């Protein structure tokens, strides 16, 4: 392996990390826009998803700036837990979760028609896609094993 191969590999890892950060920032700013500008109150599950997305935006910014090859170790668990919550929320929104175990007892419904943007894009699905994209990018950012 030449030095240029090693440098390209490091650049690719940084690029994946940077992409994960961009997705986390876009998702965080979108959530803030929907809540604060549009005025749509987040449901209980949306709050839980925010609790995992907002820290990712900060952690991945620092990791990208520092070129931290180990960022996947602390970013991936946040993304996977957020993805699990978003997956549950998506199943609830789609009607696959019975009403008896829905977590929303106060505030906006987690499965209401208000959980869309532009009248057709369900927020739970967008959140799931964002967490999935971050997880995939973080997996791509892992250093390659020595062969």
CA atoms 131, 133, 137, 139: torsion sign:
positive
pLDDT at position 37 is 87
Q: What interhelical angle do 44-66 and 123-140 show, nearest 10? A: 30
CATH class of 8-140: mainly alpha
- pLDDT tens for each residue of 86-97: 999 899 888 888
Nearest to 28 by CA among 1, 4, 51: 51
| Helices and strands in the chain, H and E counts | 4, 2
- pLDDT tens for each residue of 109-124: 555 666 667 667 888 8
Residue ranges for the chain with pLDDT beneath 70: 1-8, 99-116, 118-119, 145-147
Q: Which sequence spans correspond to the domains of the chain?
A: 8-140
pLDDT at position 147 is 44
Give how far Cα 49 sits from Cα of 9, 25, 129, 142, Å: 32, 14, 12, 24
CA pair distance 71, 64, nearest whole angstrom = 9
Residue 63 phi, psi (nearest 5): -65, -40
pLDDT at position 36 is 87
pLDDT at position 121 is 81
């Amino acid at each position: 392996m030449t030095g240029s191969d090693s440098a390209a590999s490091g650049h690719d890892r940084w690029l994946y990390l940077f992409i994960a950060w961009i997705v986390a920032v876009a998702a965080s700013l979108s959530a803030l826009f929907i809540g604060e500008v549009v005025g749509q109150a987040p449901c209980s599950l949306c709050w839980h998803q925010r609790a995992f997305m907002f820290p990712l935006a900060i952690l991945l910014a620092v990791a990208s700036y520092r070129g931290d090859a180990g960022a996947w170790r602390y970013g991936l668990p946040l993304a996977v837990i957020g993805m699990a919550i978003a997956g549950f929320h998506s199943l609830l929104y789609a009607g696959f979760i019975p009403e008896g175990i829905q977590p929303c007892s106060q505030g906006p419904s987690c499965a209401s028609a208000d959980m869309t943007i532009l009248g057709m894009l369900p927020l739970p699905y967008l959140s799931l896609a964002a967490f999935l994209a971050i997880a995939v990018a973080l997996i791509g950012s892992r250093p390659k094993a020595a062969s």
